[in-house]
Amino acid sequence: MQVAFARLDLLCLRVALALTGLILPLRLQSQAGATGVLAGAVLADSTERPIADAEVALPALRLRTRSDSMGVFTLRGVTAGRHVVVVRAIGYGDLSMPVLFRRGETLTIDVLLTAPAQRLSPVDVVAPKASGNNPRIAEFDERRKIGFGEFLTQEDFAKAEGRNMLNVLTSRIPGVRIVGTGRRTLVSSRGVISFSRSQCPIRVIFDGIPDAAPLDLDSIEPSTIAAAEYYTPATLPAQFNFGGNSPCGTLLLWSRW
């Protein structure tokens, strides 16, 4: 009788072991089916050309892989839920994006990476001073330091782009105005004879040469002038007193060339 019970127990044990052997593979197969797959390609954003050897990772799951020569990647074993995909490649900016996986889902995506703009090293650009190449402007700078007169530099004329010469001069030099409707003239209201005359023409000296006839200032482009200086009769430097002092003031214009 005891032998019969022993045989029955042994049979039950064998059945239990056999059932365990069947159940375990089924459980493993069920767990494998519960994970998903992330697949796709890594491409350059500007050209959509494939990026090889890019790292594709799900850091929270400690899963990672690399794209092949065609930019294609496959990442297996992704559990259901919301995860963050991180993609990196040399020469491109990192990309992080959230993805939502359902149980056993295969998700296919295209990842576009952008190459960051290259930052160039700063370059110091120093514009040469006009006085370095033009001795007349060096002398102009010396007179400007003394301060007797009204002075306009090349920067002043550069800011006046689109305006005519007469308007530039009258806006920067006190006591001068424009007269005439055809060929306009620059006159002064501060000359020694301005109280007895309605118009007191200003003498213009261009590049150190006094004009024999009235100069048409409207025909001069401000961008061609490197400097200008205006003096009343009392402040005019002696070297510019050609044939007697001008009673209405003197304007000196210096060209850039």
Model pLDDT for residues 136-189, shown as the tens digit of each residue:
889 999 999 988 899 999 998 888 878 888 888 888 888 888 876 666 777 776
For residue 148, CA distances in Å to 67, 97, 190 come to: 76, 69, 15
The sign of the CA dihedral 188, 193, 195, 199 is negative
**SS3 label, residue 222:** helix
Rounded to whole angstroms, the Cα distance separating 85 from 101 reads 12
Confidence of residue 117 (pLDDT cuts 50, 70, 90): low
Rounded to whole angstroms, the Cα distance separating 250 from 232 reads 7
Rounded to whole angstroms, the Cα distance separating 33 from 18 reads 23
Which of 96-100, 126-130, 167-171 is the least confident region?
A: 126-130
Query: Residue 119: pLDDT above 90?
Result: no
Tokens encoding 187: 């006159």
Under a CB-based contact definition with an 8 Å cutoff, are residues 80 and 34 in contact? yes
Beta bridge partners of 210: 205
Domains for the chain: give ranges and CATH numbers: 35-114 (2.60.40.1120), 130-255 (2.170.130.10)
Helix (H) or strand (E) holding 5: helix 2-33
